[in-house]
Amino acid sequence: MKVGHVDPFSGASGDMLLGAVVDAGVGLGDIVAALTGLGLEGWALTAEPALRGGIGATRVLVATHEDGVVRTWANVRERIGGADLPAVVKTRALATFRRLAEAEARIHRRDVERVHFHEVGALDAIIDVVGVCAGLHLLGIESLSCGPVAQGVGMARSEHGLLPIPAPAVLELLRGAPTYATGVPAELCTPTGAALLAEWTSSWGPMPALVVDRVGYGAGSRDLDRPNVVRLVVGDAADGPAATRALVLETTVDDLPGELVPPVLDALRAAGASDAWARTVLMKKGRPGLEITCIADPDRGEALRGVLFRETTTLGVRGHTVDKWALEREFVEVDVAGEPVRLKVGRLGDRIVNVAPEFSDCAAAAAATGLALKEVFARARAAWRPRGDDPAPEPETPPPATA
């Protein structure tokens, strides 16, 4: 699988990301050809070499003849929706502008359909967004990861007057994503750049294991105290699952009745935790207690903290992010004594390495048939057979016999 990783150590903007895909090997003419499908006039695209902090990069410049029209979300949606573009490019570009519209709506406290884009609805922003989406598609990228997004500090002038850096729209767009301030007195990440990253990024954090094929550097317009470039790494996913970022929340209590613990864990899973558990711990003054822990996508943090505060007796919650690796998985269904039982099949690359019957299905089958639960488990495993093109799991080696 072709994967990409964005390294926004100096932030990101639409033209910087466009420069990165061109620097990574996409022909400028191919992007121009895709953009002609928009049916827009009054623009031109050029690329030139640039040096930023000693790093060679590509600077893409969008020249436009603006007509003074302030575009609405409806206007942009109609233009891109009716364009002659590959389906994936059209879908991604529309989703990117949808994110921009929703961010502006939240900031200005108005309905999303009434949003006027101002700067980000200008012709050059449309060229940037569609051009980047077309470039990533032409690179064949199926999954994109992104590192923490650098931000500047200070104030920037806009159509609304002076706005703080990071711009309000940038922070809205990067909800759930890692970002940090650098102290650079300039806008490093623009709303267009943030929207493109938010739309394309499937996992935030360090670069995953991949076999590097291409590296592209897109140049910003200014020289800073750091290389003002965004880096795009393209390659093939290495064997094994890629790491994703997950949030771990935990709290310890010594006064929660035991009968309330299972409902707390159920509430955490219902609120978006991929798993939740409890274990006994020894607390201060030798008091026995419980540590309640859950793991989830980072954007579920607020909801899960709310569950812990409402449903337990805790006064505080701890949290940290971790790397998480997960096998690709699918469900298959088998028949056990006339009852359906699902099995979860886990794959490592093209090999099946784990097959696990679903407990709830096995329990229901045991209740319906009168079979022992362990017998249902055994029959479900025995009934499963891989498809003809699936290699079976390695058989377990029995332990050596002892005298």
DSSP string, 125-189: HHHHHHHHHHHHHHTT-SEEEE-PEEE--EEEEETTEEEEES-HHHHHHTTTS-EEE---SS--S
70 has a pLDDT exceeding 70: no
CB neighbours of residue 358 within 10 Å: 15
pLDDT tens digits, one per residue of 26-46: 999 999 999 999 998 889 999
pLDDT in tens, 182-220: 999 999 999 999 999 999 998 888 888 889 999 999 999
Residue 400 pLDDT exceeds 60: no
The answer to whether residue 398 scores a pLDDT higher than 50 is: no
Give the dihedral sign, CA 212/214/220/225: positive
Is 390 within the bounds of a domain?
A: no
- Exposure string (b/e) for 380-391, b if CB count within 10 Å is 16 or more? beeebeeeeeee
Q: Considering the chain, what is the average pLDDT of its residues? A: 89
Average pLDDT over residues 355-372: 94
Confidence of residue 303 (pLDDT cuts 50, 70, 90): very high
pLDDT classification of 110: cutoffs 50, 70, 90: confident
Instruction: Identify the pLDDT of residue 105.
Output: 86
pLDDT at 91: 93
CB 219 within 8 A of CB 228: yes
Q: Is residue 48 in some structural domain?
A: yes
**Residue 299 domain-assigned (yes or no):** yes
Complete edge-to-edge strand list for the sheet that includes strand 229-237: 43-52, 55-64, 210-219, 229-237, 2-7, 143-146, 201-204
Same domain, 168 and 281: no
Are 365 and 301 within one domain? Answer: no
> Within this chain, do residues 90 and 179 fall inside the same structural domain, yes or no?
yes
User: Where a domain ends, among 218, 237, 256?
Assistant: 237
Q: Do 32 and 109 belong together in one domain?
A: yes
Task: Indicate whether 266 and 299 sit together in one domain.
Answer: yes
In a domain, 395, yes or no: no
Packing angle, helices 123-138 and 14-23, rounded to 10: 30
322-346 burial string, b = 16+ CB within 10 Å, else e? eebeeeeeeeeebebeebebbbebb
Phi, psi angles (nearest 5°) of residue 313 = -100, 15
Confidence (pLDDT) at 104 = 85
* DSSP β-bridge partners for residue 278: 292
- Give the DSSP letter string of 68-132: ----BHHHHHHHHHTS---HHHHHHHHHHHHHHHHHHHHHHTS-GGG-B-GGGGSHHHHHHHHHH
User: Would 402 be classed as within a structural domain?
Assistant: no
What pLDDT was estimated at residue 75? 83
Say what the pLDDT of residue 124 is: 85
Nearest to 32 by CA among 2, 66, 4, 60: 60
Picking from 237, 270, 286, the residue at the C-terminal end of a domain is 237
Same domain for 347 and 264, yes or no, is: no
The token pair that represents 22 in the structure block: 């061109």
Give the end of a domain, one of 204, 237, 270.
237
**Contact of 27 with 221, CB cutoff 8 Å:** no
Q: How many residues does the chain have?
A: 403
Q: Could you say which DSSP state residue 253 is in?
A: E
Instruction: Indicate whether 75 and 11 sit together in one domain.
Output: yes
Q: In 201-350, where do the E strands start and end?
A: 201-204, 210-219, 229-237, 244-253, 275-282, 288-296, 318-324, 328-336, 339-348
Q: Does residue 13 register a pLDDT over 60?
A: yes
Let me know if residue 399 belongs to a domain.
no
Residue 72 and residue 118 share a domain: yes
223 is in which domain, residue-wise?
Answer: 2-237
Tell me the backbone φ, ψ of residue 8, rounded to 5 degrees. Answer: -90, 55
Lowest average pLDDT, out of 111-120, 157-166, 333-342, goes to 111-120
Domain count across the chain: 3
Give the domain CATH number at 355: 3.10.20.300
- Regarding whether 272 and 189 lie in a shared domain, the answer is no
Same domain, 69 and 24: yes
The reported pTM is: 0.65
Residue type (1 letter), 201 = T
By CB atoms closer than 10 A (0-12, 13-18, 19+), residue 112 is middle
Residues 54 and 93 in one domain: yes
- Are 132 and 21 in contact by the 8 Å Cβ rule? The answer is yes
- Alpha-carbon distance 137 to 10, whole Å? 24
Evaluate whether residue 397 is within a structural domain.
no
- Does any domain span residue 394? no
**Statement to judge: residues 157 and 87 lie in one domain:** yes
Quote the DSSP letter at residue 255: S
Per-residue model confidence as pLDDT tens digits over 140-185: 999 999 999 999 999 988 776 788 999 999 999 999 899 999 999 9
Asked if 364 and 376 touch (Cβ cutoff 8 Å), the reply is no
CATH number of the domain enclosing 288: 3.30.70.1380
Amino acid found at 114: R
Tell me the percentage of the chain whose pLDDT exceeds 90: 66
Comparing 341 with 120, the larger pLDDT belongs to 341
**CA–CA separation, 293 vs 356, rounded Å?**
24
